[in-house]
């Protein structure tokens, strides 16, 4: 109702009112609390709002956006080149990240990014084989625990310098042999 006072509209549904005001550029983002911005980033289905939020500089906000299933793929792709390894790690964890971006992130300099790639349930055995030779024990351990890892790669990891990686590879190989 156009005659409803603004304070009543906000009381009816403050979250919707804040999001609508921001989307329509009535309320500047700078006037909102970090919590309101975070909630909008991770939960909004308004693509215009998500695009607007994606231009803000905070790392935590990019991470929140990457948790949103409605985040457009072009923003995910843009974030795959982010300066922050934490942001790139969340790109790798995002289920909507395209395969070509996942393959690129498998070569990332950040071990946590590569570990996130190796943790994916939809990763190919070929990419897991490549990551099984990563210098980081953390990455190799993620490979040793991923059900998509081939038996040949697991056999290779049985000889790993890390007893944890070798043990996890043995455990997964035993499970695969029982299937």
DSSP one-letter string for 46-95? -HHHHHHHHTS--HHHHHHHHT-TT--HHHHHHHTT-S-HHHHHHHHH-T
Report the C-alpha gap between 129 and 105 in whole angstroms. Answer: 15
**For residue 108, what are the CA distances in angstroms to 7, 30, 111, 126?**
49, 33, 7, 17
Report the C-alpha gap between 106 and 92 in whole angstroms. Answer: 9
At residue 33, the pLDDT reads 85
pLDDT in tens, 133-175: 999 999 999 999 999 999 999 999 999 999 999 999 999 999 9
Burial of residue 28 (number of CB atoms within 10 Å: 0-12, 13-18, 19+): exposed
Question: 53, 61 in Cβ contact below 8 A?
Answer: yes
DSSP 148: T
Q: What is the three-class DSSP state of 150?
A: coil
Report the C-alpha gap between 113 and 84 in whole angstroms. Answer: 10
At residue 86, the pLDDT reads 97
* CA atoms within a 13 Å half-sphere pointing along the CA-CB vector of 45: 0
Report the C-alpha gap between 61 and 1 in whole angstroms. Answer: 34
Percent of the residues in the chain that have a pLDDT greater than 90, as a whole number: 75
Mean pLDDT of the region 30-55: 90
Positive or negative torsion for Cα 139, 145, 149, 151: positive
| Closest by CA position to 54, among listed 41, 39, 69 | 41
How much is the pTM? 0.81
């Amino acid at each position: 109702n156009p005659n409803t006072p603004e304070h009543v509209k906000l009381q009816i549904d403050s979250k919707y009112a804040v999001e609508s005001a921001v989307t329509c550029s009535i309320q500047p983002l700078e006037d909102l609390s970090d919590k309101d911005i975070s909630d909008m980033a991770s939960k909004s289905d308004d693509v215009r709002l998500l695009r607007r939020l994606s231009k803000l500089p905070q790392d935590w906000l990019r991470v929140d956006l990457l948790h949103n299933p409605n985040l457009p793929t072009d923003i995910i792709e843009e974030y795959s080149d982010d300066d922050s390894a934490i942001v790139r790690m969340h790109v790798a964890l995002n289920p909507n990240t395209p395969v070509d971006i996942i393959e690129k992130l498998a070569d990332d300099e950040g071990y946590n990014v590569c570990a996130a790639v190796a943790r994916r349930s939809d990763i190919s055995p070929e990419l897991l084989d490549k990551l099984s030779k990563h210098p980081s024990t953390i990455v190799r351990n993620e490979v040793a625990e991923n059900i998509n890892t081939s038996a040949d790669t697991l056999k290779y990891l049985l000889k790993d310098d890390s007893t944890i990686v070798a043990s996890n590879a043995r455990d997964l190989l035993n499970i695969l042999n029982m299937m």
